[in-house]
């Protein structure tokens, strides 16, 4: 990749705008997982220590119609950062384009970019306004690197200098190394609701992995090839595609039993059933015990593990066992494990296994698209900006 890196630039006294990924779960104003904030901190502190005028921006959640919603405000993150970075002044602004001037070595946290009209559509006017906030733009949000939006892509067309932050660079290098020469056996665990959003990555992982384990609604779609699975979450329109994938590869592991319930509730009691015994008023919400045993054995032998997504409704105590046992088996594994995706981070926090995972990616969609082999729009933007600067220097 022909791109600039932040640590190669002289940023002293410069206005440095960092696009972070601070999209963390917040409930009643309280941050539930600070994993992504902690991952972004080294870049922010590096710029502060170099005496740059540091401005950070991020998205949070999915506010409707690009309008302010208190539950999606970055203000709780600002308060968190103010405590963490207590050696300098930290400001907050909900007005991007009349932001207070700051001094070198100080930090300004901007409000959620998704409150800005045109952010999601990669609006050129908004992108240009962003560019006027800074002398140097730093793309450090790997979790948003797959999005072609104003704050992740459009700004690169107008800003003079765009560069990659250390976190973005590290994430990409880590994934490249894992995919290029993994130790064997290599297994991939893919959970989530929809097979449609992960069909291409499943195809890629089935090619390069010794075993692919599917969970959640994805596994249900595979089960629906041969069974009536009641009111379980699955995608009937993708059954044929799932069958083609299953028949093409012989390394996809599908549940042999499941925990089911009649109501989608955190108080619902679980019952274990074989796929052939599921009733019309029942829905699959977790792996059964025999499936868990089978998968834990596979995990124990693995030398490389790629993990994206829980395998059941882990938020409900009675449907947590599959995700919990698999997470703990990965944590105990002595090989190399890489985990990515928002729900995956929540699972890691829930079971306190952060220090036992070899590498935790901040990305979900970007994590999957990179594995799939797609060029991420943010990387494309950084390469184009670098080329533009070379041409300017020549002419």
In the residue annotation, 204 being an active-site residue is answered as no
Rounded (5°) CA angle 263-288-240: 80
In the residue annotation, 320 being an active-site residue is answered as no
Alpha carbon separation from 96 to 56, 104, 133, 280, 318 (Å, rounded) = 11, 19, 8, 53, 45
Q: Which of 191, 217, 340, 342 is catalytic?
A: 342
Annotated binding site: 21-23, 36, 59-62, 114, 147, 198, 315, 341-344
In the residue annotation, 365 being an active-site residue is answered as yes
Annotated binding site for ATP: 198, 315, 341-344
Pull the structure tokens for residue 179.
Answer: 């995919």
Q: Which of 129, 148, 194, 262 is catalytic?
A: 194
The answer to whether the CB of 96 falls within 8 A of the CB of 127 is no
Q: Which of 4, 14, 19, 36 is catalytic?
A: 36
Annotated binding site for substrate: 21-23, 36, 59-62, 114, 147
Among the listed residues 117, 39, 37, 50, the one whose alpha carbon sits nearest the alpha carbon of residue 78: 37
In the residue annotation, 215 being an active-site residue is answered as no
The answer to whether the CB of 392 falls within 8 A of the CB of 170 is no
Annotated binding site for (2R)-3-phosphoglycerate: 36, 114, 147
Q: Which parts of the chain are beta strand (E)?
A: 15-19, 26-27, 30-31, 53-57, 90-93, 107-110, 136-139, 161-164, 186-190, 211-214, 252-253, 258-261, 271-273, 283-287, 304-308, 336-340, 359-361
Active-site residues: which are they? 36, 194, 342, 365
């Amino acid at each position: 990749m022909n791109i600039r890196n932040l640590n190669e630039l002289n940023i002293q006294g410069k206005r440095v705008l960092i696009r972070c990924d601070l999209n963390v779960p917040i409930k009643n104003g309280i941050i539930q997982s600070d994993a992504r904030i902690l991952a972004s901190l080294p870049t922010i502190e590096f710029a502060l220590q170099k005496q740059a005028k540091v401005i950070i921006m991020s998205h949070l959640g999915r506010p409707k119609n690009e309008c302010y919603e208190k539950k999606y405000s970055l203000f709780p993150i600002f308060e968190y950062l103010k405590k963490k970075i207590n050696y300098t002044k930290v400001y907050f602004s909900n007005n991007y384009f009349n932001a207070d001037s700051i001094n070198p070595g100080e930090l300004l946290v901007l409000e959620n970019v998704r409150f800005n009209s045109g952010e999601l559509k990669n609006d050129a006017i908004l992108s240009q306004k962003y560019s006027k906030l800074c002398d140097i733009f730093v793309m450090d949000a790997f979790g948003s690197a797959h999005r072609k939006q104003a704050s992740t892509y459009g700004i690169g067309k107008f800003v003079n200098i765009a560069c990659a932050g250390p976190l973005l660079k590290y994430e990409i290098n880590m994934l490249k190394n894992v995919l290029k020469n993994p130790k064997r056996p290599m297994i991939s665990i893919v959970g989530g609701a929809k097979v449609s959003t992960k069909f291409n990555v499943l195809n890629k992982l089935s090619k390069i992995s010794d075993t692919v384990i599917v969970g959640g609604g994805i596994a249900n779609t595979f089960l629906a090839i041969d069974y009536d699975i009641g009111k379980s979450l699955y995608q009937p329109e993708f059954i044929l595609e799932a069958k083609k994938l299953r028949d093409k590869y012989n390394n996809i592991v599908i549940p042999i039993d499941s925990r089911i319930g009649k109501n989608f509730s955190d108080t619902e009691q679980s019952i274990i059933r074989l796929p052939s015994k599921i009733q019309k008023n029942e829905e699959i919400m977790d792996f059964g015990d025999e499936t868990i045993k089978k998968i834990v054995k596979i995990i124990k032998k693995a030398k490389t593990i790629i993990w994206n997504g829980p395998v059941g409704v882990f938020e409900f105590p009675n449907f947590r066992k599959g995700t919990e046992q698999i997470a703990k088996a990965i944590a105990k594994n002595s090989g190399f494990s890489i985990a990515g995706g928002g729900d995956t981070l929540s699972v890691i926090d829930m079971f306190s296994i952060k220090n036992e995972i070899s590498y935790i990616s901040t990305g979900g969609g970007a994590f999957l698209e990179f594995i799939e082999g797609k060029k991420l729009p943010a990387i494309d933007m950084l390469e184009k900006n670098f080329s533009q600067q070379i041409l300017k220097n020549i002419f």
